[in-house]
Amino acid sequence: DAKTTQPTSMDCAEGRAANLPCNHSTISGNEYVYWYRQIHSQGPQYIIHGLKNNETNEMASLIITEDRKSSTLILPHATLRDTAVYYCIVRVAGNQFYFGTGTSLTVIP
């Protein structure tokens, strides 16, 4: 599966949109982009995933560039409870989910 690159940490003001970038420049055509988050001392939580089109659910939006080499997870109105480590994962069906080091997001009051 393609390797992903994420910033180590980010801050976001409470109530503002949190935009978390992920670079996956070697992604292949059949690889999906997944996002998970892990709030301290809890199991990872699935957020969203997509292949080519932008996706939105009740938690977040996923914007994938046209060349699919990068994506952005958007939390539209960040709250203190969104403070977590966010993992961007690129995966082919049937392969394992490889969790890298992720981005530690801190939402500031």
Partner 1 sequence: SAVISQKPSRDICQRGTSLTIQCQVDSQVTMMFWYRQQPGQSLTLIATANQGSEATYESGFVIDKFPISRPNLTFSTLTVSNMSPEDSSIYLCSVEQYGWEKGQETQYFGPGTRLLVL
Q: Is 54 in the site for partner 1 (CB under 8 A)?
A: no
Q: In terms of CB distance, is 29 or 41 closer to partner 1?
A: 41
CB of 57 to partner 1, least distance (A): 11
| Strands in 1-109 per DSSP E | 9-13, 18-23, 31-38, 45-50, 55-56, 61-64, 70-75, 84-92, 103-108
Q: Is 46 in the site for partner 1 (CB under 8 A)?
A: yes
Residue type, 80: L
The residue length of the chain stands at 109
Q: Pattern 2-41, binding to partner 1, x per CB under 8 A? A: ------------------------------x-x------x
Q: Is 45 in the site for partner 1 (CB under 8 A)?
A: yes
* Selected range binding partner 1 among 3-11, 15-23, 72-80, 97-105, rule: CB under 8 A: 97-105
Residue type, 72: T
